[in-house]
Amino acid sequence: MNKKSLFLGAVIGAAAGAVTSILFAPKSGRELRSDIVEKSGEASVVLKELAYNANELLQSIQVLGTEGSTLIKDVSSDIMDSVSKWNEEMEPEKKRLKDEIKDMQRTIADLEKTLKKDK
């Protein structure tokens, strides 16, 4: 969504609401003019607050995006380091397991030979 469109829509909506409420209020011309001046001042304050809050939100989103990107890079780097360390630590275990599997295969082969001889 375009930021300008959102801001423009909020301004137009606020203005339309203010004009509608003023025009449909049953008051005299003097009261109506007084209300218009008062409401326009209030609308100005609301618009300034809205612009300030929109700017704050935009800055927060930018900071969050930057920090999120940095955090993701750090976490992925930490994960890669952990996996690398785990692989290094598991290397002796892999060798031991391979040796045990070879021993089991030899034992099975020897048992098969023994069983064939006994038949």
> What tens digit of pLDDT does each residue of 22-39 get?
677 676 667 767 777 777
Judge whether residue 67 has pLDDT over 70. yes
Least confident stretch, 67-71, 84-88, 102-106: 67-71
| Alpha-carbon torsion, ordered 53, 55, 56, 58, to 10 deg | 120
What pLDDT was estimated at residue 55? 86
Mean pLDDT value across residues 80-105: 89
What pLDDT was estimated at residue 10? 80
